[in-house]
A and B are shown apart, each in its own frame.
Chain A
Amino acid sequence: MQQSALSEAGQRDLDIVELLRGGRNEAAFERLAERYERKVYRLCCSIMRDPDQAADAAQESLLRVWKALPDFDERASLSTWIYTITRNRCLTALERRREHESMSDPAVEQAAEAAGAARGASAGPAEPAPDQLALLRGLVDALPEHYRRALTLFYYEERSVADVAAMLGQPEGTIKTHLHRARALLLERVRALGLGDVKHWLEESA
């Protein structure tokens, strides 16, 4: 499945590869940026969590792609190559950020605060939580990192498992497993909040 997705991506990027073979790097990059800048930014958002830092990482990743473009040897598909550069760039930026941060995990703290607020709000009879979507986002943020990335990208990429797999550089089967476990964990945590009828609460959120 992933092979076919890769070859599809390869077919889609043939025009860019042709431009590169013809030495027209600037035209190739312009087309590449048009096609991939949103995906690169979304991948950065899913890894970095912070939109400003994600924008910086996306800029740096695409600049690195531009610099390395003459060295692209077509061993992997263009999209795989771009996503690999982006992931590496984000992971380096994350490592640098961790060096400057304390040991506390803001996402977990946020989720705990949101859960506390939701508990307070649910004390009354069937009143909807003040910001259910924020609470749900907080719970997603508190998921284990690989589940959170897969789940976030899955919805960013309009539920395309193939795209998520290509962007995270993992087999589609692994992504499906991560998505399944992420949803199960989310349901478990929503239930643990004691919000009453979970289905009803989720339907209100949606």
Chain B
Amino acid sequence: MNRPQDPSDDAALERALDAALARALLAPALPAGFRQQLRAAVARAGDTSATRAQRLAAAEREHAAQLAELRSGYVRLRQRTLGTLIGAAFAAGLLLNFALPWLKAHYGERGVYALPAIGAAIGLALSLRAWWQRSSFARLLS
């Protein structure tokens, strides 16, 4: 014969269970150094806090800046080369204007060809040197 359970007994049992569970299931404390480890992990993650779109935009900006720098360098190089060529042509004209009468007076009619011959020899030497360097560099790469 089962004796009907007294509701007050049930309530007391519930209270006893609750107290026992509260003692058995204590909240675990955070491990020592948890925050420091988290900070280190976050630092290691670096700029990954940015979204994929933000990272893509940053990479595109960097690429565009590099391209613009390359272009401006190329334009500067072309302008410098053009300036050098024009300057050299005028300087050569000026030199010839003074040198030819002097050469003619001292070395006769043949003396007129001496200056262009020297210029042509220097130009050829420079050109040959450049070609030689280029070909040896190509050999090194291969």
Contact = CB atoms under 8 A, between A and B. Distances in A.
Interface in B24-61: 24-28, 30-31, 34-35, 37-38, 41-42, 45, 48-51, 54
A187 B13 contact: yes
Contacts of A112: none
Interface string A191-202: 000000011001
B17 A69 contact: no
Contacts of A199: 9, 12-13, 16
B20 A41 contact: no
Contacts of A152: 25
A70 interface: yes
Interface stretch (A96-104, A116-124, A132-140): A132-140
Q: How many interface residues does chain A have, given as a range? A: 35 or more
B138 interface: no
B23 interface: yes
Contact of A187 (B17, B37, B51): B17
Contacts, number: 101
A61 B20 CA distance: 32
Contacts of B16: 198-199, 202-203, 206
A2 B100 CA distance: 103
A202 B41 contact: no
Interface in A62-83: 62-63, 66-67, 69-71
B31 A63 contact: no
A144 interface: no
A51 B25 contact: no
Interface in A11-40: 25-26, 29, 33, 37-38
A29 to B, nearest CB: 7
B34 A59 contact: yes
A186 B25 CA distance: 14
Interface string A134-162: 00110010000000000110011111000
B24 A202 contact: no
A136 B51 contact: no
Contact of A155 (B21, B38, B48): B21
Nearest to B9: A199
B30 A41 contact: yes
Interface of B: 9, 12-14, 16-28, 30-31, 34-35, 37-38, 41-42, 45, 48-51, 54
6 contacts: A66-B42, A67-B45, A67-B49, A198-B13, A199-B16, A206-B16
Interface of A: 25-26, 29, 33, 37-38, 41-42, 45, 51, 54-55, 58-59, 62-63, 66-67, 69-71, 132-133, 136-137, 140, 151-152, 155-159, 183, 186-187, 198-199, 202-203, 205-206
The 5 closest A-B pairs by CB, nearest first: A206-B19, A155-B25, A202-B16, A205-B20, A156-B27
